[in-house]
Structure 1
Amino acid sequence: MALRAPLEASHIAVLSGELENERNRDHFIELCRRFGATPPAPQANYHVADLGQIRVRWERHTEFTTYTFYREGPFAEPFREPAIGHVPLDWLHQLPGQLLVAVHLALEPASAAERDAASLAALCGSDRYVGSLMTGGKAVAWTDFRLNADGFVRILVRDRGLNHRQAGRLVQRLLEVETYRTAALLAFPLALKTRPQLRALELELTELTRRIAEVKELQAEQALLKALTRLDAETARLASQTSYRFGAAKAYYNLVRRRIAELREERIEGLQTWCEFMDRRLAPAMETCESVNARLERLAVRVSHAGNTLRTVVDVALQAQNRDLLRSMNRRVQLQIRLQQTVEGLSVVAISYYVLGLVGYALKGLGALSLGIDVEVLQAVSLLLVVPLVWAGVRRLRHLAVPESKAPPADPQ
């Protein structure tokens, strides 16, 4: 937007999530209708409306909505009569969502009286303000990033030769710096809350990993695997609760650094620059969030590795048990074969005994006919014939009952 000094702006950002697009649009349309202004087009995420004494810039982001109210014209003192004072209070109180950012910005012309440190401290709200030259020295901006009694952060800007477009870009960037800074810090309380839970999971994983090397019984291995599975599920739950917020914080922090780089700051002797303030206050919080996120990712990898290790140990133990079982089965089969061979030999002897008994009765009958047959010689000869025949018959019956496996054909290669 093209802006000119003197100007006062009030900027608010409302955290409303991704599912509140229609409610925020309808609420903004209601404001436009009250003042007879043109409402935004359907599906629009950006709109500027003229409300008479003020203009409003509405913009819908992924998880928050911003309203910036501009009032151009001279003012006796910055922040005494902010632009948002011309917005109906009932409409403000019914804003859908949770207030995230509230900023008053005053852009005073170069003709305004120079301000000393005491005047700047009174306007900003404290003497811990930062300030720097911006846009190649064509503007100066001061703020202390603190909430004042009215719940708004104050930013004072002095025009030193900005054209209308430069003034619009500078005001928008300063407001975006505060908006994205606050949005990035939404992840910091979550990181502080996650750290103790993460530490507890890390200690539990260390203990479970130590037990992997000591466990020997299958029951204990299964219990350990169950504990690792539960730990993996807990890690995944924690990651799903934090991944979106940490990812959003990283994106917002990158936007803050980009907007500050676009300000083209120059140092004012004795004052901290906006960039230095962010490096000292915002950067450590973002590093904490990144550290927690990195620890969470490493924990997930370690849990997966420990689970794979334990599964390998269990598989090796099962293979050893299967090997021992096969060896036991092999010994039993060998014993059965030996027993079968013993029984087979006894069967040959028993069958031969009964057959020889029958043959003996037959030979004795023939001897009683006085045919000149030597019964004892024939019995001895029958012994030599019966035993081999019985043995051959038993072997044949065994082969018919349990056929021998044929060897596979040789590989032609």
Structure 2
Amino acid sequence: MELRTHPLRQRLNDEVHTRPPIPLEAPALISYLAFVHDENGPAGERAHIGTLYERMGLPIEPSAEAAHLIIDGGNFKLKWEQHGEFSTYTFFIQPKQPALSGETALGAVPVDWVQGIPGQVIAATHIELLAAGSVDPEEMLASLPAKSDTNIVSLIAGQAAWVFTDFRIQQGFSRFTLIDESMGKLRTGRIIQRLLEIETYRVMALLAFPVAKSVSRLLNRAEAELAALIDRMVTAASPHDERTVLADLTRLAAEVEHSVASTNFRFGASAAYYRLVQQRIVELKETRVSGYPTIKGFMERRLAPALNTCAAISTRQEDLSARIARTSQLLRTRVDIELERQNQEVLAQMNRRAKLQLRLQETVEGLSVVVLTYYGSQLVQYLAKGTKELHHLNSDVITAISIPLIAGVVAWGTRQMRKKLAAEEGEGAH
């Protein structure tokens, strides 16, 4: 059957199969580098990986859509993964020297190629995977410095392996020693991948901490300024004072919103990375070794407070933004009410002027009636004088009689015209 397939079906299905762990068997050395993307982004990384293909004589080069590659370089294996903010390079080799000799997987990789990887290193780790019996965990415990919370030792994978680390950077790399008691190849690959993800995600999560410190200084100043503006709003004595306070509030709101917009992604990403760290720690299935902290305990003491600070600053920033918005709305309401009162006063003054104009108009209309009556009576008088031989009546009497008649007609006509104009104005208003 031929069925219409969604264009993203294959891509979405393949997504759950990407970035698989590489099965590992002890002994093995793993060197891991995570680079934050530079301005060239993944395109520059693929081009740089393409140069490695050329040097190794490999026939296939990475496609423009590749986000995950496994390269067999002969004496080493490279796993490259592209993530949203960073890309990772994991190198695997079989060691040539005895256990705990200090040999690393990067020793088998061209130095100039590693140094040319684009971006900035955000995490770098060496892991030495040892086989059971090649070294005694108890002897390693005895060789550790004085017990403190900087030496992390725990049993992982349901007590199938030992892990030793201190999460310190020495010569640019943190170090893990993993003793495989009974994990198996695939499970070992998954555990190695979890450790590397913990190392990367914890650093990526902490990128928000310097941002939180900077935002904290802004919030301290903005909160003090908001309190002062609220006091000014309460004591404002005139509309001008309220408008001045509103202008200052608008400026402060813009400043805080700019901070929210510029830090929201970093705080959100930090919280997401921290959740991944916690999830990966759970997947390690740690068992505590007496006298030494576990990875989970170390993260809870050292990482959690910093991330809680970031979360608190993010919440505090959002809360301040909401408080400024509420204060601005309240003050804007007061300003609007004052403007409405002023508008009502203006309308009242306009109403009084309209009434005065109406009275003046009525006065003018009265004068107009007098004037029209006068001129009309004059016309009647001229007409009476011109026709007195026909009716033998006194023109003055005729003029006197015509005056009230003319005045009445003119007054009635003026009133009818005013009514008609008022009716037309009322219809236009509706």
TM over 0.5: yes
Residue identity over aligned pairs, in percent, reads 38
> Mapping of 1:123-134 within 5 angstroms?
128-134=150-156
Q: Deviations over 1:44-90 (max 9, x none)?
A: 11122222222221111111111111122464242611111222221
> Mapping of 1:205-284 within 5 angstroms?
205-215=226-236, 217-284=238-305
Q: Measure how far apart 1:216 and its partner are.
A: 5.5
Residues 1:79 and 1:295: Cα distance change in structure 2 (over 3 Å): farther
CA distance in 2, matches of 1:196, 1:263: 38
Per the alignment, residue 54 of structure 2 pairs with 33
**What is the identity, as a one-letter code, of the residue corresponding to 2:331?**
L
CA distance in 2, matches of 1:85, 1:257: 32
Residues 1:75 and 1:120: Cα distance change in structure 2 (over 3 Å): farther
CA distance in 2, matches of 1:40, 1:59: 15
CA distance in 1, matches of 2:44, 2:422: 80
CA distance in 1, matches of 2:236, 2:200: 54
Per the alignment, residue 400 of structure 1 pairs with 417
**What is the identity, as a one-letter code, of the residue corresponding to 1:29?**
G
**TM-score where L is the length of structure 2:** 0.82
Q: Measure how far apart 1:146 and its partner are.
A: 0.7
Per the alignment, residue 224 of structure 2 pairs with 203
> Mapping of 1:10-409 within 5 angstroms?
10-17=31-38, 20-37=41-58, 41-42=62-63, 43-73=65-95, 75-78=97-100, 80-111=102-133, 112-114=135-137, 115-121=139-145, 128-148=150-170, 150-215=171-236, 217-345=238-366, 382=400, 386-387=403-404, 389-397=406-414, 399-400=416-417, 403-406=420-423
Structure 2, gaps ≥5 residues long = 1-21
Q: Deviations over 1:12-39 (max 9, x none)?
A: 1111158510111121222233233465
Given that 1:39 and 1:49 are in contact with CA atoms closer than 8 Å, whether structure 2 keeps it comes out as no
Aligned alpha-carbon RMSD (Å): 3.4
Per the alignment, residue 11 of structure 2 pairs with none
Residues 1:223 and 1:402: Cα distance change in structure 2 (over 3 Å): farther
CA distance in 2, matches of 1:2, 1:228: 60
**What is the identity, as a one-letter code, of the residue corresponding to 1:390?**
A
Q: Measure how far apart 1:131 and its partner are.
A: 1.6
Q: Measure how far apart 1:183 and its partner are.
A: 1.0
CA distance in 2, matches of 1:178, 1:315: 56
Q: Deviations over 1:219-238 (max 9, x none)?
A: 44443333333223222221
Given that 1:17 and 1:64 are in contact with CA atoms closer than 8 Å, whether structure 2 keeps it comes out as no
Moved more, 238-247 or 27-36: 27-36
Moved more, 331-340 or 216-225: 216-225
**What is the identity, as a one-letter code, of the residue corresponding to 2:136?**
A
Q: Measure how far apart 1:398 and its partner are.
A: 5.4
Given that 1:46 and 1:57 are in contact with CA atoms closer than 8 Å, whether structure 2 keeps it comes out as yes
Given that 2:149 and 2:293 are in contact with CA atoms closer than 8 Å, whether structure 1 keeps it comes out as no
CA distance in 2, matches of 1:165, 1:364: 134
SS in 1 for 2:144: helix
Residues 1:19 and 1:226: Cα distance change in structure 2 (over 3 Å): farther
CA distance in 2, matches of 1:152, 1:15: 16
CA distance in 2, matches of 1:68, 1:17: 19
CA distance in 1, matches of 2:53, 2:376: 120
Q: Measure how far apart 1:121 and its partner are.
A: 3.8
Q: Measure how far apart 1:318 and its partner are.
A: 2.0
SS in 2 for 1:312: helix
CA distance in 2, matches of 1:343, 1:319: 35
CA distance in 2, matches of 1:57, 1:362: 122
Given that 1:191 and 1:289 are in contact with CA atoms closer than 8 Å, whether structure 2 keeps it comes out as yes
Residues 1:224 and 1:39: Cα distance change in structure 2 (over 3 Å): farther
Residues 1:161 and 1:387: Cα distance change in structure 2 (over 3 Å): same
CA distance in 1, matches of 2:407, 2:174: 113
Given that 2:385 and 2:395 are in contact with CA atoms closer than 8 Å, whether structure 1 keeps it comes out as no
Q: Deviations over 1:123-151 (max 9, x none)?
A: x9x87211211111100112111111x11
Given that 2:72 and 2:78 are in contact with CA atoms closer than 8 Å, whether structure 1 keeps it comes out as yes
Given that 2:149 and 2:292 are in contact with CA atoms closer than 8 Å, whether structure 1 keeps it comes out as no
Given that 2:23 and 2:188 are in contact with CA atoms closer than 8 Å, whether structure 1 keeps it comes out as yes
